[in-house]
Amino acid sequence: MSGFTVAASGWDARYLDSIPHDNSYYAKCFVGGALACGITHSALTPLDVVKTNMQANPVKYKGIVPGFATIIREEGRSGVWKGFGPTLLGYTAQGAFKYGFYEFFKDVYMNLAGEDMSNKYKPAIWLASSASAEFLADIALCPLEMTKVKIQMSPSGTFPVAFGAALAEMRNRRLETRYPFGSIVPLWFRQIPYTMAKFFFFEGIVQQFYTHVFTAPKESYSKPTQLGISFTSGYLAGVICAVVSHPADTIVSLMGRADNKGKSIGTIAEETGFLTLATKGLGARVIMIGTLTGFQWWTYDTFKTSVGLTTTGGK
């Protein structure tokens, strides 16, 4: 990853930070991203199970609390942890690609644009870098996300819950499940806007904190203060992300239903209606994504500082 174009002026985005952005730096960002997404997504599996079922069967699962009660009553307490395995593995891979490639593409695009353009159009750099990173991250995520959704929304006893057996069943029934990349397009539609919003608003909110609230040089503040800014900025960005990406997230869930077998994305969207796509399960997703995004940025920046790097943003 070390060989990419440097601006003709000799200005190099890789050396703007106090830590040079070499291969070691990007490798640490990949590890930090893997931890940030793998830990947070898998920890919130119970809320994800309820949210997915609210989207796929809103008549039966009428809300967060009733949804939990229904699942526990029918499947026991273990029912709310369905899909933990593919969630952990899928989002660990996705997080590594998302955060690692974001850092990489940000430096690439800044060097392509040059110093003046990078400073003038910094938000555009954030958007382009996050979109590029998420495009690749979703390819790694898609097979496991499809497996997770199928496990979570299948009635008890109709589909394997164990990770290995579920993967085998997805492959065996690939004409029905469209495994492994049948959901890649709606996943891109869900995740790319989500990640663009996530990184754009995070970077922007962090910059506002250090411009208007914490006005001394960033490095003068303690690590707990910087990490608190990372968490708060991540949480606020996550709420926006949840609203932006929710319709596509609902479609991904609906594609796993047996009665939607063979239907196009457009048909599913038309039959469901935009209002339902945009609102059903949104409350659960706002709570889930706000909390998840806040802790992702906190985990990511905690790891970065633990290995000698600086927290993200603010410059």
**Residue 314 within any structural domain of the chain:** no
Residue 170 reports pLDDT greater than 80? yes
Residue 227 reports pLDDT greater than 90? yes
**Residue 7 within any structural domain of the chain:** no
Q: How far is the C-alpha of 311 from the C-alpha of 98, rounded, in Å? A: 16
**Among the listed residues 300, 237, 310, 305, the one whose alpha carbon sits nearest the alpha carbon of residue 96:** 300
**Residue 1 within any structural domain of the chain:** no
**Residue 178 within any structural domain of the chain:** yes
Confidence of residue 31 (pLDDT cuts 50, 70, 90): very high
The reported pLDDT for the residue numbered 7 is 58
Torsion of CA 281, 284, 286, 291, to 10 degrees: -150
State the pTM of this model.
Answer: 0.84
Domain that holds residue 73: 17-307
**Residue 155 within any structural domain of the chain:** yes
Amino acid, single-letter form, for residue 306: S
What element of type H or E holds 166? helix 163-172
CA distances from 306 to 176, 223, 292, 300 (A): 46, 10, 21, 10
The reported pLDDT for the residue numbered 70 is 94
Confidence of residue 155 (pLDDT cuts 50, 70, 90): confident
Domain count, the chain: 1
CATH number of the domain that residue 60 is part of: 1.50.40.10
Confidence of residue 5 (pLDDT cuts 50, 70, 90): low
**Residue 228 within any structural domain of the chain:** yes
**Residue 45 within any structural domain of the chain:** yes
Residue owning tokens 């006005």: 215
Q: 3-state DSSP call for residue 29?
A: helix
Please state the rounded mean pLDDT for residues 38-53. 91
**Residue 8 within any structural domain of the chain:** no
